[in-house]
Amino acid sequence: PALVFLGLTFISYCLWLAACGLLAPFVHNNRLNAAQAQMSDQSSPEAASADSPAAEERSPLAPLSSGGVGGNSTASNVAQDDPEFEVEVAVDERESWGTKIDFLLSIIGFAVDLANVWRFPYLCYKYGGGAFLLPYFLMNIFQAVPLFYMELVLGQVNQHGPIRGIGLAQNLMTYLVAFYYNVIIAWCFLFLFNSFSTTLPMTSATTHFNDGAHEQYRTYYAVARHQFFERGVLAIHESVGLSNLGQPRLLLVICCMIVFTCLYFSLWKGVKTSGKVVYITATMPYILLSILLVNGARLPGASRGIKYFINPDLSKLNSIDPWIEAAIQVFYSTGAGFGVHLSYASYSRPKNNCYRDCLITAAANAAASFLAGFVVFSYLGYMSEITGKPVDQVTAEGPGLVFQVYPIAIGTLPVAPLWSILFFSLLITLGLDSAMGGMECLLTGVGDLIEKPLRRYKNVREIFTVCVIVFAFFMSIFLCTQGGMYIWNLLNNFSAGLSIIVVAFSQAIAVSWFYGLDQFCKDIKDNLGFSPGIFWRLCWKFISPVFILVIIVFNIVILMDSSSFLYFYKYTEYHPELFANRTEGNNYFYFYPTGGKLIGWGICAIQLGMIPALAVYAIVSYKSLAKAITPIRDHRLVDSGHVTRYTIRHWLSLGPMDTFPLDLIHRAWSKRRHGNKSNANASEAEDGDGNHKASESYPMTGSSKVVDEDG
């Protein structure tokens, strides 16, 4: 029954993606062609001319007709439509992907990251196994995929990266994430190098960090394999907190240098080079996961772990927690809101079918999470078998799962070094393409700003990439110290916590409300050839913002709670140097001082403060709220008194009436309105005696004066 429930849930999600990808374009094209044919019969070439008086005197209530590539219309620029801000990047001069598959693999590589391996399986176990897939897929459908689609369209239509306002917040956020995310990859490299030995140090009880002064620790554990990560790699026992970070760990610094070197040579030439690297980093995880799954499924106890993973317990869905966790998981999993997909899409051809790419990426991301869950829990079941403990006592979340629990299971296998090499190679490939995406967001966003003034200089991209990479490397050295884990945990909690959720919410509101679905849907139609369906419009306008707003409220509640996990680091093991006495079964924590909390709040506030700050600056610069929230190409309408953003229609519109069921509603409403006008005209055409007035009758065919105002 568990497998049936799991299979039906996953198949339903895949069918939804297939229906969106295969049926929607044909439906939209058919309706669009019919509407265009009808309009061509009712309008004359003179009326359609952009230079005609009718076009110049267009009603401010009508949908905006200008747009497309080159329009300063992205959500990141809603508060910045000033000539000083405008980025002039000609489409024909802009670098582009070598092939379409380069772009597709890049966005898949960024979406599928380490969270698919260490967070999704744990959430499935914690919240009802296979039952967690229900909120997971629902949140994917109504929140993550629509925002992902929106971000791809923004980048492809406008042909530049995230800049100013929301874009500036995205650039800073991805750069802060790079400081600690690349350190995770450095840990993976260190574990990988240690795997090239006949005896894995993470499974040995005789390693150097367990000798001498650590005898008290060895009393409680027969072997010291659990301590390899915190004591052997991090040496966190030699630092008491933020006030004493200690010395940098030389091996970690070297591994960090390797990571940033790989990033530089992947990014220095732009998407031409990074688009080729992802052929390895985006595809290798699926190959390695499949190999590890085949090996894990044949281990004793594997079925026990998989049962914990997929066995549905629907009672766990009665609380709000699994729904909030599912919303957060899909949010980070797809990567919407970071600006990376926007940056990648800006290098695509304007006519590229990013709608199809969005659906393929969503399916690949869900499949990777699903596959990783089977892999992880097959090995956890094996570990439960050899230790005699229940699965819930051997599992963990986050770094503890992949750097402590999982290596132990691998270490007991025949030819353990081989499986260890494969596993940490998997983590490295998962991390590198996500790290490349984060760096590319900053390089594209800021690069578009400096490209015009620095265009006359050679190798601008290479020099700028060096500066960005080197500075990030020196900042990451602080996280390679003995107390670097305290900084890592702080950045992990605050650099992309509440800020990424607020940024995505702001982006959704800016596009669907301020910019307006009338113009946004027209941009999509002009570039993709079809208009988005009613499902996407409802998600952009109402459903996704509401979901995100609920997450924001819960995150603020957590932020205000002084006992929240945001304000402490939980040691995974007992360290006698930090705690004088050990009490069996106790947990040990490092609570951040006031200064540490202020640093966390400051990181979050600086990112979020950029959005209102740039909005206020735009209003002050224009001395007009109307111009600040109106695309620059429509400022002439504002000058003439036609402020579409001050009309109810703009704020309530779901876009052009060219998709089901809006087209049916529009036809019914137009038919009824035209019928009423016909009756009124017929009444006016008769005198008091019921005689028809020939002079006021309907004009004959060919009269050029019969032009319906709505037509």
CATH value at residue 108: 1.10.4160
For residue 199, is it within any domain?
A: yes
Give the pLDDT confidence score for residue 468 in this predicted structure.
95
For residue 449, is it within any domain?
A: yes
Q: Which pLDDT band, with edges at 50, 70 and 90, does 47 fall under?
A: very low
Give the integer Cα–Cα distance in Å for 505 and 175: 20
Give the pLDDT confidence score for residue 404 in this predicted structure.
79
* Highest mean pLDDT out of 61-65, 214-218, 501-505, 569-573: 501-505
DSSP, residue by residue, 640-666: TT--GGGSHHHHH--S-S-STTHHHHH
The tally of CA atoms less than 13 A away on the side-chain side of residue 374 is 18
For residue 672, is it within any domain?
A: no
Q: Which pLDDT band, with edges at 50, 70 and 90, does 55 fall under?
A: very low
Give the integer Cα–Cα distance in Å for 2 and 16: 21
Q: Is the pLDDT of residue 79 over 90?
A: no
Give the integer Cα–Cα distance in Å for 232 and 228: 4
Tokens of 591: 């609570």
Give the integer Cα–Cα distance in Å for 225 and 221: 9
Alpha-carbon torsion angle 322, 405, 10, 357, nearest 10: 100
Q: What is the mean pLDDT of residues 618-640?
A: 89
The tally of CA atoms less than 13 A away on the side-chain side of residue 659 is 22
Give the integer Cα–Cα distance in Å for 490 and 495: 8
Instruction: Give the phi and the psi of residue 624 in degrees, each rounded to 5.
Output: -160, 120
Q: Which pLDDT band, with edges at 50, 70 and 90, does 588 fall under?
A: confident
Q: Is the pLDDT of residue 204 over 70?
A: no
Q: Is the pLDDT of residue 32 over 50?
A: no
- Tell whether residue 613 is among the known ligand binding residues: no
Tokens of 142: 């109504």
Q: Is the pLDDT of residue 566 over 80?
A: yes
- Tell whether residue 116 is among the known ligand binding residues: yes
Instruction: Give the phi and the psi of residue 590 in degrees, each rounded to 5.
Output: -110, 115
The tally of CA atoms less than 13 A away on the side-chain side of residue 308 is 25
- Tell whether residue 109 is among the known ligand binding residues: yes
Mean pLDDT over each residue of the chain, to the nearest integer? 79
Q: Which residue has the higher pLDDT, 602 or 456?
A: 602
Check if the beta carbon of residue 416 is closer than 8 Å to that of residue 203.
yes
Give the pLDDT confidence score for residue 486 in this predicted structure.
95
For residue 256, is it within any domain?
A: yes
Give the pLDDT confidence score for residue 112 in this predicted structure.
93
Give the integer Cα–Cα distance in Å for 84 and 164: 11
DSSP helix, strand, coil percent of the chain (3-state; round to 5): 70, 0, 30
Give the integer Cα–Cα distance in Å for 148 and 327: 14
Residues whose CB is less than 8 angstroms from the CB of residue 318 and which lie 6 or more positions away in sequence, other chains included: none
The single residue listed with the structure tokens 């894995």 is: 200
Give the integer Cα–Cα distance in Å for 162 and 677: 49
Domain holding 344, by residue range, is 100-205+218-487
- Tell whether residue 430 is among the known ligand binding residues: yes
3-state SS record for 616-640: HHHHHHHCCHHHHCCCHHHHHHHHC
Tokens of 593: 């001082």
Each residue's pLDDT tens digit, 518-531: 999 999 999 998 88
Alpha helices in 298-397 (DSSP H): 302-310, 321-334, 340-345, 354-387
**b (16+ CB within 10 A) / e for 304-335:** bbbebbbbbeeebbeeeebbbbbbbbbbbbbb
Q: Which of 213-227, 287-301, 520-534 has the lowest mean pLDDT?
A: 213-227
Q: What is the mean pLDDT of residues 242-271?
A: 94
Q: Which residue has the higher pLDDT, 221 or 666?
A: 666
Give the integer Cα–Cα distance in Å for 527 and 691: 55
For residue 117, is it within any domain?
A: yes
Tokens of 344: 């990648």
Residues whose CB is less than 8 angstroms from the CB of residue 345 and which lie 6 or more positions away in sequence, other chains included: 103, 107, 151, 152, 153, 154, 155, 156, 354
- Tell whether residue 562 is among the known ligand binding residues: no
Tokens of 497: 């916590």
- Tell whether residue 111 is among the known ligand binding residues: yes
Tokens of 224: 């010291």
Q: Which pLDDT band, with edges at 50, 70 and 90, does 141 fall under?
A: very high
For residue 53, is it within any domain?
A: no
- Tell whether residue 433 is among the known ligand binding residues: yes
- Tell whether residue 82 is among the known ligand binding residues: no
Q: Which pLDDT band, with edges at 50, 70 and 90, does 543 fall under?
A: very high
Give the integer Cα–Cα distance in Å for 538 and 524: 16
Domain count, the chain: 1
Give the integer Cα–Cα distance in Å for 311 and 303: 11
- Tell whether residue 681 is among the known ligand binding residues: no
Q: What is the mean pLDDT of residues 89-118?
A: 84
Give the pLDDT confidence score for residue 704 in this predicted structure.
34
Q: Which residue has the higher pLDDT, 378 or 680?
A: 378
Q: What is the mean pLDDT of residues 576-600?
A: 81
**b (16+ CB within 10 A) / e for 180-189:** bbbbbbbbbb
Write the single-letter amino acid at 506. Answer: S
Q: What is the mean pLDDT of residues 36-60?
A: 39
Check if the beta carbon of residue 626 is closer than 8 Å to that of residue 645.
yes
Q: Which of 95-104, 204-213, 245-254 has the lowest mean pLDDT?
A: 204-213
Give the integer Cα–Cα distance in Å for 496 and 606: 12
Give the pLDDT confidence score for residue 69 in this predicted structure.
32
Torsion sign over Cα 546, 611, 445, 434: negative
Q: Is the pLDDT of residue 537 over 80?
A: yes
Give the integer Cα–Cα distance in Å for 193 and 252: 11
The tally of CA atoms less than 13 A away on the side-chain side of residue 422 is 20
For residue 284, is it within any domain?
A: yes
Bond before 661 cis per omega within 30 degrees? yes
The tally of CA atoms less than 13 A away on the side-chain side of residue 408 is 23
For residue 697, is it within any domain?
A: no
Give the integer Cα–Cα distance in Å for 310 and 129: 5
Check if the beta carbon of residue 433 is closer than 8 Å to that of residue 109.
yes
Give the pLDDT confidence score for residue 319 in this predicted structure.
85
Burial class (CB in 10 A: 0-12, 13-18, 19+), 412: middle
3-state SS record for 410-456: HHCCCCHHHHHHHHHHHHHHHHHHHHHHHHHHHHHHHHHHHHCCCCC
The residues with which 481 forms a beta bridge, in sequence order, are 248
Give the pLDDT confidence score for residue 52 in this predicted structure.
36
Give the integer Cα–Cα distance in Å for 514 and 516: 5
Give the integer Cα–Cα distance in Å for 685 and 678: 11
Check if the beta carbon of residue 495 is closer than 8 Å to that of residue 177.
yes
The single residue listed with the structure tokens 């914990």 is: 308
Each residue's pLDDT tens digit, 463-490: 999 999 999 999 999 999 999 999 999 9
Instruction: Give the phi and the psi of residue 4 in degrees, each rounded to 5.
Output: -65, -45
